[in-house]
Amino acid sequence: MPTIRNAMLLGAAFAMTGAASPPASLSGVWGARGAILTVGVDGARLEQDCASGSFGPVRVDAHGRFKATGRFETFQPGPQRADMDEAPGGGGGNARFDGVVEGNTMRLTVHPAGAPAQDLTLTRGMRVKLIRCY
């Protein structure tokens, strides 16, 4: 049938353009040295040696990019004070999370309010042992 043949030719032509399609799902565990990112349907949780963060659902665009807002908290060695300010180096606060996914690699930039950005390169399924600072 001409319609099926045309559809197949169109599909083959699209595949040869090299257009990157976003990953079907980011769900699962992503790892990097000193960092574990667990992504689920409702959002993501980032655990690091001396910090943690979380953000809402991730919507990846056609180029594998995403932006999300959430919270990011840093820790210091030793006991944590209950009255620590929610400021960089002194607790937690709002943060923006920007990422791009290419295959099994995710580049994630964490932008904590009032603190320098932090870049991570995570690999899907990488097992990581965190060494907590507290």
In total, the chain counts a number of residues equal to: 134
Mean pLDDT of the chain: 82
Model confidence pLDDT, tens digit, residues 95-109: 999 999 999 999 999
Summarize pLDDT for 74-133 with one digit per residue, the tens.
887 767 667 665 444 455 799 999 999 999 999 999 999 988 999 999 999 999 999 988
For the entire predicted model, the pTM comes to 0.74
Give residue limits of the domains in the chain. Answer: 21-124
- Establish how many alpha carbons lie within 13 A of residue 91's alpha carbon, considering only the half-sphere containing its beta carbon: 9
Measured between alpha carbons, how far is 122 from 124 in angstroms, rounded to an integer? 7
Structure tokens, 71: 């919270």
Best CA proximity match to 120, nearest among 62, 48, 39, 23:
48
**pLDDT for 7-48, tens place per residue?**
444 444 434 334 344 456 899 999 999 999 999 999 999 999
Q: For residue 25, what are the CA distances in angstroms to 74, 81, 105?
A: 28, 38, 13
* SS3 of the chain: helix, strand, coil, percent, to 5: 10, 45, 45
Round to whole Å and give the CA distance between 37 and 99: 12
